[in-house]
Structure 1
Amino acid sequence: LRILAYLPITFWAVIFLQGPIPQDPAYHQFADQRTLLGIPHCLNVISNLPFLLIGLWGFSVVFRLATNSTQQAFVSPVDSLAYQILFLAVALVGLGSTYYHLDPSNETLLWDRLPMSVAFMAFLAAAITERLDRRAGIITLLPLIAFGLFSVLYWYYTEQAGAGDLRYYIVAQAYPILFVPLMVRLLPSPYTRGSDLYVAGLFYLLAKAAEVFDQALYGVGGVISGHTCKHLFAALGAYWVLRMIRLRRLH
């Protein structure tokens, strides 16, 4: 538990000792620039469809399970709220990222990152609800989402002012990825299948790796780029969370 107490302080200290972190101007220069079927950056655009489908499917499944008195996926219907928001945000990522990749720029990236930040914060709130403190998770859901949205708007405002700063957004994205696996490892859950979150996390790490090696992966045959793979791996991560919810039971 000491690790969980010290991690937030350490994480914030490391991030903010770095000073402002601007958006790399080359970020929007993706390896795969092809126009196919009249769609610019085609594969980077259409690879967002899984986000939309999994997000809508996930919301439907979670809502159904939460309102079914015989199910064992949630202790109480209110415990499902973070997951409902998570999957709605994933669906909106599909729309926002599609919009961004049709014409990549900071202005369109804003609409990709806003729902992403909501998804990250809802994921964190769900983990807090299930493993740390049920009441705390429910109470902090909206403040966490507000922080996620603030982190993106702050980045965008500072970029427009000529002094971009990604630090708050980095916290919003990276903190759940570091914190949730620790909670899974150290704290009990009332549900089975908690280890599925490790698999979801692995898919997310693969997505980040594919993003870094965008050009290198596209250079292998010129068929699919790392950024397209990033979308597919990240969507698989969201699916694995949905799979966990569908299959889990109360201990």
Structure 2
Amino acid sequence: MPKDRRVTIILAIVAIAIIAVMSIRPIPQDPAYHNFADRRVILNIANFYNVLSNIPFLVVGLMGMQLIASGRARGGLVELQIVYLMFFTGILLTGFGSAYYHYHPVNQTLLWDRLPMTIAFMALFTAILGEYISSKIALKLFVPLLMSGMASVLYWYIPELNGRGDLRAYALVQFLPVVLIPLILWLFNCPLKGSKYIWGVIGLYVLAKLMEFFDGEVFRGLGLISGHSLKHVFAALGAYVYYLALRKRTKV
């Protein structure tokens, strides 16, 4: 299939998704979202395990930033180093923001959980665009994608202060890349060997979302740890798999 046609397919899916999601009613923040299954206080730390389970984000974020800064990310493209650095910066900040939110889970702290996550989402999506489609196009889209990701959180948060929050744009930022990345891997070739790493990232992210969805069921089944805490661990593992990709992939 000609590359122009493949790019058109991607753009058409983006357009359809935006029109479809923004044509439905605004999605407010469910107040019950903050009612996590595991709310134990340990060592005077509220929601102890949901807070503590963010440490892997800090570790992987620092590891990734050090890898890029040292010039050892030979499993990536030279021109995308700033994108890789921003991804791991987003992962590091997610560790701080998520821990802050889970210590006192309300909408005001949720803002600082979601903002860094969108940095990581958009940086990873930009990296995949650059690796599989065009690094030049990816770099041109990098800042607009980052801004759109952060804007989607503010689009929810600012009206939420007056009880009219809308999560539609944030839902697009969070879930559209999960649909597009597998399609990009299928339609395009990468100059780097090791698509298995990207599939691993996707698989672990899906597993993390399942843990989040079944938060209470996992907690009741395991007793020691909740689904939401495991969500943090699996999401951080996904970032670690991409760290491995940047270390171990080789040119085709």
Gaps of 5+ in 1: none
Deviation at 1:249, TM superposition (A): 0.9
Residue 20 of structure 1 corresponds to 26
* 1:49 corresponding residue in structure 2: 55
TM-score, length of structure 2 as denominator length: 0.94
Match of 1:238 in 2: 239
Which residue of 2 is the match for residue 125 of structure 1?
Answer: 126
Assess if the C-alpha contact under 8 Å between 1:110 and 1:156 holds in 2. yes
Displacement of 1:231: 0.5
**CA shift at 1:180, angstroms?**
1.2
Name 1:89's counterpart in structure 2: 90
User: What RMSD, in angstroms, separates the aligned Cα atoms of the two structures?
Assistant: 1.3
Which range moves more in the overlay, 21-30 or 218-227?
218-227
* Matched pairs, number: 246
Task: Specify the alignment match of 1:10 in structure 2.
Answer: 16
Is 1:214 the counterpart of 2:220? The answer is no
Distance in 1 (CA, whole Å) between partners of 2:137 and 2:20 is 26
Percent identity at matched positions? 39
In 2, Cα distance between the equivalents of 1:154 and 1:13?
Answer: 17
- Evaluate the alpha carbon distance shift between residue 244 and residue 74 of structure 1 in structure 2; reply closer, same or farther with a 3 A threshold: closer
Is the Cα contact below 8 Å between 1:184 and 1:195 reproduced in 2?
no
Deviation readout 1:226-249 (Å, 9 max, x if unpaired): 100110110111111111111001
Give runs of aligned pairs for residues 100-139 of structure 1, distance below 5 A.
Answer: 100-139=101-140
Give, in whole Å, the separation in 2 of the partners of 1:83 and 1:48. Answer: 20
**Residue by residue, what CA displacement relative to the aligned partner does 1:98-147 show, whole Å, maximum 9, x if unpaired?**
10000000000000100001110111111111111111101111111010
Give 2:164's aligned residue: 163
Gaps of 5+ in 2: 1-5
What letter matches 2:109 in structure 1?
Answer: T
What is the aligned partner in structure 2 of residue 150 from structure 1? 151
**Per-residue deviation, 1:62:** 2.2
Cα distance in 2 between the residues matched to 1:12 and 1:130: 24
Is contact 2:219–2:225 with CA below 8 Å preserved after alignment?
yes
Q: Deviations over 1:140-179 (max 9, x none)?
A: 1111101011011111011112111001111111111111
TM-score normalised to structure 1 length: 0.94
Contact 1:123 1:176 in 2 (8 A): no
Aligned in 2, Cα 1:124/1:170: closer, same or farther, shift over 3 Å? same
Deviation of residue 64 (structure 1)?
2.0
Aligned equivalents of 1:206, 1:221: Cα separation in 2: 16
| Cα distance in 2 for residues equivalent to 1:9 and 1:183 | 16
- For 1:211, the aligned partner's letter is E
How does 1:53-64 map onto structure 2 within 5 Å? 53-64=59-70
Q: CA deviation digits over 1:26-45, x for unaligned, max 9? A: 00000001011221100000
1:14 aligned partner, one-letter code: A
Alignment of 1:168-179 (within 5 A): 168-179=169-180
* Residue matched to 2:230: 229
Q: 1:16 to 1:233 in 2, by over 3 A?
A: same
Q: Is contact 1:44–1:101 with CA below 8 Å preserved after alignment?
A: yes
1:220/1:6 CA distance change after superposition, 3 Å: same
Q: Mean alpha-carbon deviation: is it higher for 20-29 or for 154-163?
A: 154-163
Q: Which of 23-32 and 11-20 deviates more?
A: 11-20
Deviation at 1:81, TM superposition (A): 1.1
Amino acid at match of 1:214: D
- The 2-side partners of 1:84 and 1:112 are apart by 19
Deviation at 1:72, TM superposition (A): 3.8
SS in 2 for 1:180: helix
